[in-house]
Amino acid sequence: PARVAVGGTAAVAVCAAGEVRGAHVEGVDDAEAIAGVTVFHARTARDVEGRLVTAGGGRILAVTGEGATVAEARERAYAGIALIRFDGMQYRSDIAERAGQRR
């Protein structure tokens, strides 16, 4: 199994959807181009043309932001999410909100 090493703090926000199968997922490469952002796939697949699509409902992607602080990690995770699009996409906007405000 792969191991992930985080040298600081991480915040993870999940992109989910209802039972939407085959919706094109866009922006993952753009999100991962942000320093400190990694996108983990849960319910994705490739269609016959090789495009990334949803493979059902529920948790589709987990967008992880890494940073020196919780606030920085959270900011990066949500910056990544802002670039991702697919039909029916939903996510919580309060992940690590209170923890990021602590000093």
What Å distances lie between residue 103 and 29, 80, 95, 98, 99, CA to CA?
33, 24, 17, 10, 9
How many CB atoms sit inside 10 A of residue 6's CB?
12
pLDDT tens-digit map of 37-46: 999 999 999 9
| CATH code, domain with 86 | 3.90.600.10
| DSSP structural state of residue 7 | S
Residue 1 lies in a domain: no
Stretch 80-86: mean pLDDT: 98
- Would you state the pLDDT for residue 1? 61
Q: How confident is residue 97, by pLDDT bands cut at 50, 70 and 90?
A: confident
Residue 89 lies in a domain: yes
Domain membership of residue 19 as a residue range: 9-95
Residue 102 lies in a domain: no
Q: How confident is residue 86, by pLDDT bands cut at 50, 70 and 90?
A: very high
Residue 100 lies in a domain: no
Residue 2 lies in a domain: no
Strands across the sheet containing 21-24: 21-24, 52-55, 44-46
Residue 59 lies in a domain: yes
Model confidence, pTM: 0.87
Residue 3 lies in a domain: no
* 52 pLDDT more than 60: yes
